[in-house]
Amino acid sequence: MKRVYECMLICSSPSLSKELSSEALKHHLVLKSMLCSDFQGTPQTLQSYAELSARYDAVVFVVGFDDLQMMRILMNDLRDILVRPMIVWGLDIQWVALQDMWRYGAVDFVSGRNACVELYTRIAYRQGCLSLHNAYQSKQDVTESVLSESCSEGYQLGIPIDINRSFQEFKEEVLAYYERQYLASQLKRYEGNITLAAKASKKHRRSFWEVMRRRGLVAGEFRPH
pLDDT digit string, tens, across residues 144-170: 333 333 333 344 444 555 567 677 777
Higher-confidence position of 167 and 56? 56
pLDDT greater than 80 at residue 96:
no
Q: Give the bridge partners for 60, in sequence order.
A: 9, 87
Task: Choose from 28-32, 93-97, 178-182 the range with maximum mean pLDDT.
Answer: 28-32
Who's near 110: CB < 8 A, 6+ residues apart?
87, 88, 89, 90, 118, 119, 122
Number of other residues whose CB lies within 10 A of the CB of residue 7: 25
Q: What is the distance of C-alpha 70 from the center of its chain?
A: 18
Q: What is the distance of C-alpha 44 from the center of its chain?
A: 23
| pLDDT, average across residues 170-191 | 81
Least confident of 41-45, 94-98, 160-164: 160-164
Write down the pLDDT at residue 161: 57
> What is the average pLDDT value for the chain, to the nearest integer?
78
